[in-house]
Amino acid sequence: MSGDLLIAIVDDDDSAREATVDLVQAVGFAAAGFASAAELLASENLRQMACLIADVRMPRMDGLELYLHLAGSSTPIPTILMTAHAEDDTRARALEAGVQCYLEKPLEVGRLIACVRSAVGERGGQAGRGPRRERFRNLTHEQPSFGTEPTDDVGSSGSPYCTNLKATEGS
């Protein structure tokens, strides 16, 4: 695992959080799960996080509020929001605010991996380049099969779900 590529997963649903942590770890990242935004914000590892994957609907502080809090602080983290209750207005607000991707549950493995790949490349303002991006490509080159192959469609987005991914046919 690559110690400097820590992916944080925040979801109040224990089983969804654990499954997402397991998936992220299976492709070679260190992953940390948090049951709430407050738990993440209290983490000693907050500044080491290369990407945040957060549920939209959570008590007290939801995923979009968490992203906005981090974006307005000294700790902005590229963020992927996920939800079982997709709403067009929430998706539009999130993507307009700068959220990397807005994904519906159950998560499509290939889309999630592509979003993480894009987010890791964005950390530090070097989208798609730099040692983190290269390390991610090396980590995910030969990944375990989860029934869906990840795409390498990082670039201009035509997708209503991701700001930095090309739309794929049939999405």
Q: Give the rounded percent of residues in the chain with a pLDDT score beyond 90.
A: 61
The per-residue pLDDT for range 8-18, each reduced to its tens digit, is 999 999 999 99
Q: Give the rounded percent of residues in the chain with a pLDDT score beyond 70.
A: 68
What does the pLDDT read at residue 27? 87
- Ramachandran angles phi, psi of 63, nearest 5°: -60, -40
DSSP β-ladder status, 101-104 and 29-34? unpaired
Beta-carbon contacts of 70 under 8 Å, excluding residues fewer than 6 positions away, are: 52, 76, 77, 79
Q: Taking 80 as the threshold, does the pLDDT of residue 52 lie above it? A: yes
| 149 burial via Cβ count (<10 Å: 0-12, 13-18, 19+) | exposed
C-alpha–C-alpha distance, residues 150 and 2, integer Å: 19
- Ramachandran angles phi, psi of 106, nearest 5°: -70, 145
- The token pair at 81 is 């929001």
pLDDT (average), residues 69-98: 95
| Sequence-distant contacts of 18-23: CB under 8 A, at least 24 apart | 20/53, 20/82, 20/107, 20/112, 23/107, 23/109, 23/112, 23/146
Beta-carbon contacts of 133 under 8 Å, excluding residues fewer than 6 positions away, are: 117, 120, 121, 126
Tell me the β-bridge partners of 31.
Answer: 7
What does the pLDDT read at residue 54? 98
pTM: 0.75
Q: 3 vs 98, which has greater pLDDT?
A: 98
C-alpha–C-alpha distance, residues 136 and 130, integer Å: 10
Q: Taking 70 as the threshold, does the pLDDT of residue 167 lie above it? A: no
Query: Is CATH 3.40.50.2300 what the domain over 2-140 is classified as, yes or no?
Result: yes
pLDDT (average), residues 73-93: 94
